Structure 1
Amino acid sequence: MTAPPAEGRRSRTRQALLAAAEDLFAQHPIDAVAIDDIVRAAKVAKGTFYNHFTDRDDLVRTLLIAIRGRIEATVDAVNAGVEDPARRVVRGVCAYVRYALDEPRNTRILLRALTPTGATVSRLNKGVLDDLSAGLAVGRFSLATTEAGLLLLMGVSQVAMARAIEDGAVALPIAQQLCGMMLKGMGVAAEEAERLAAQAADEIIRRPV
């Protein structure tokens, strides 16, 4: 079955707006891109924009949800069958770095739009918050709060991703070092933290030649 013509046109227009926004946000700071710029690049009338999004922030949220959703699906895959919270969080960070290497354009958009505001209530952070809570419950982590752990993890992920798109050659060693520091900051013993970080970086960031 095919979609009705009107529905098909609506879908194509929405995708054109999202694609135009992706191109512009990858090249410019998000605040510097106006709705006029987006509709001009998408070759649609300005009024059409509001048939799909309430405002520019709504479009940005839609893009971010799509990007984060793809990364979180990868995180779920690399953590399938992994129960140790320490291994899960470090493997999650490495999955984000791997994404940065594979998708630098969308990573730039993500980094420009990410903010710690509302991080603890975002449904996209539920998985890592569950891991942090589990780690605290069993004494794997020694953190004041799960929010503190989340902000630490977000900071490490963002810095590692930024360095990955600047210079892919340093992505693995930088991620490994930062992940080791992160685990130690969460209370994991130094030797184990370094081992887990090295293992995760090697398995997830390094690709077979």
Structure 2
Amino acid sequence: MAQPKAGPSRRLTDRRRARTREALLSAGRALFAARDVDGVSVDEIVEAAEVAKGSFYNHFTDKDVFAREIAAAVRRQVEQAVNDANKDIDDPAEHLARALCVFAHFAIEHPDSARVLWRLNSGATMVDAPINRGLRDVVHNGIRSQRFRHVDLESGVLLVMGVIVIVLRHVLEERLVTPPHAVAANMAAGLLRAMGIANAQAARLSAAAANDLLQSA
């Protein structure tokens, strides 16, 4: 049996719900960029979103579920940007250099989301965490092909994540002495050297990634 078409009243209600949900998520991103989850109350969230408190619980079970949804959405956003930048890249070393530059660019273009990224992704340092699947695959492929020689899987994944977090936080500083594209290029080169890539090649791959993805940022 065919489902009845939604009437104008139903469509209006759905649009209002969607606007309320997006207002809550936008307010949450801004608040969690400045403070950890425990430092933000539901009252602050609904006040910033300019919605009734009951609306929050119409969409989210509690604040932790709300925070996890925001964190997951930001992570998907930046991971998609990394995938887009690396869609034609087969070399694991070049992939990592370009991924680091994408994260730096993301911090420049979306500073609140970048702050949320490192504040809310608890458990992200566990190598087997689902959110690390893509990175784990790149590092694994690099080790298997002997492109990466100085690390095992766990230390390689942790090394990449640590460098990316430092670059993110540094780019978000109010006063930068070194331009972001130079910071990203230098840090990417250091990361690749730590993974076993020769100095000259690490520098070349990292400079090319920064010039391609960050020079105009």
Q: Give the TM-score normalised by structure 1.
A: 0.89
* 2:64 is the alignment partner of 1:57: yes
Residue type at the aligned position of 1:120: V
Question: Counterparts of 1:1-209 in structure 2 under 5 Å?
Answer: 4-117=11-124, 119-166=126-173, 167=175, 170-207=179-216
Q: Is the 8 A contact 1:90 1:200 kept in 2?
A: yes
Q: Is the 8 A contact 1:94 1:204 kept in 2?
A: yes
Cα displacement (A) at 1:99:
0.9
- Mapped to 1, the partners of 2:34 and 2:61 lie a distance apart of 23
Cα displacement (A) at 1:48:
2.8
* Deviations 1:35-91, CA, capped at 9 Å, x for gaps: 121122223333332221222121111112221212111111111211001111111
Residue 90 of structure 1: SS of its match in structure 2?
helix
Residue type at the aligned position of 1:98: H
Question: Structure 1 stretch 162-171 or stretch 67-76: which is displaced more?
Answer: 162-171
Task: Pick closer, same or farther for the CA change 1:189–1:28 going to 2, 3 Å.
Answer: same
Residue 59 of structure 2: SS of its match in structure 1?
coil
Note the aligned Cα RMSD (angstroms). 2.2
Larger radius of gyration: 2
Structure 2 gaps, min length 5: 1-5
Q: Is the 8 A contact 2:33 2:113 kept in 1?
A: yes
Q: Is the 8 A contact 1:17 1:38 kept in 2?
A: yes
Cα displacement (A) at 1:144:
4.3
- Mapped to 2, the partners of 1:99 and 1:160 lie a distance apart of 11
Question: Structure 1 stretch 115-124 or stretch 11-20: which is displaced more?
Answer: 115-124
Q: Is the 8 A contact 2:42 2:63 kept in 1?
A: yes
Stretches (4+) displaced over 6 A: none
Cα displacement (A) at 1:139:
0.5
Q: Give the TM-score normalised by structure 2.
A: 0.86
Cα displacement (A) at 1:28:
3.0
Cα displacement (A) at 1:170:
2.5
